[in-house]
């Protein structure tokens, strides 16, 4: 199994290649039993959300990492990919603003991903 940093870096780079907006990685260690990290990204339309999702899945598959579960909420406007310690949330911009997942987990540390993109 790949380490969390490798998985996160691969997923962030994949999202960036599809022009994902507002890429954010939140460290939830000690704050949540759901996952250690959330990767939250946005797309400006349904097609971009689907493209970001496929790119993340494809790139992680290439390094031998498969999601344990996938969930497409509200017709592909919020997609969650569960990689165990890491959950990737791909939102349509409007849903991201409405649900405010980043605000809910405001106490989690935001990782500096500037070296990855």
Asked, for residue 115, whether it belongs to a domain, the answer is no
Mean pLDDT of 35-59: 95
Mean pLDDT of 85-102: 90
Which residues have C-beta within 8 Å of that of residue 61, sequence separation ≥ 6?
none
How many domains does the chain divide into? 1
CA distance 115 to 87: 21
Domain housing 59: 4-110
Residue 34 is encoded by which pair of tokens? 């759901």
Asked, for residue 76, whether it belongs to a domain, the answer is yes
* Confidence (pLDDT) at 74: 65
CA distance 55 to 60: 8
The answer to whether the CB of 62 falls within 8 A of the CB of 55 is no
Q: Report residue 11's pLDDT band, with 50, 70 and 90 as the boundaries.
A: very high
What percentage of the chain reaches a pLDDT higher than 70?
97
Mean pLDDT of 46-59: 95
pLDDT at 75 over 80: no
Asked, for residue 86, whether it belongs to a domain, the answer is yes
Q: What is the mean pLDDT of the chain?
A: 92
- pTM of the prediction? 0.92
* Confidence (pLDDT) at 73: 67
Asked, for residue 105, whether it belongs to a domain, the answer is yes
E strands in 1-117: 21-27, 37-43, 69-73, 78-82, 86-92, 109-110
Q: In what order do the strands lie in the sheet with 78-82?
A: 69-73, 78-82, 86-92, 37-43, 21-27, 109-110
- CATH number where 9 lies: 3.30.460.10
Asked, for residue 30, whether it belongs to a domain, the answer is yes
Mean pLDDT of 13-38: 95
Asked, for residue 93, whether it belongs to a domain, the answer is yes
């Amino acid at each position: 199994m790949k380490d969390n940093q490798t998985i996160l870096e691969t997923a962030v780079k994949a999202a960036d290649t599809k022009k994902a907006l507002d890429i954010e990685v939140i460290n939830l260690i000690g704050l949540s039993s759901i996952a250690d990290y959330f990767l939250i990204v946005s797309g400006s339309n349904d097609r971009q959300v689907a493209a970001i999702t496929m790119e993340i899945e494809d790139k992680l598959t290439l390094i031998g990492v498969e999601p344990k579960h996938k969930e497409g909420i509200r017709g592909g406007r919020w997609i969650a990919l569960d990689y165990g310690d890491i959950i990737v949330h791909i939102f349509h911009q409007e849903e991201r603003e409405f649900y405010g997942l980043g605000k809910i987990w405001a106490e989690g540390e935001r990782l500096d991903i500037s070296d990855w993109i």
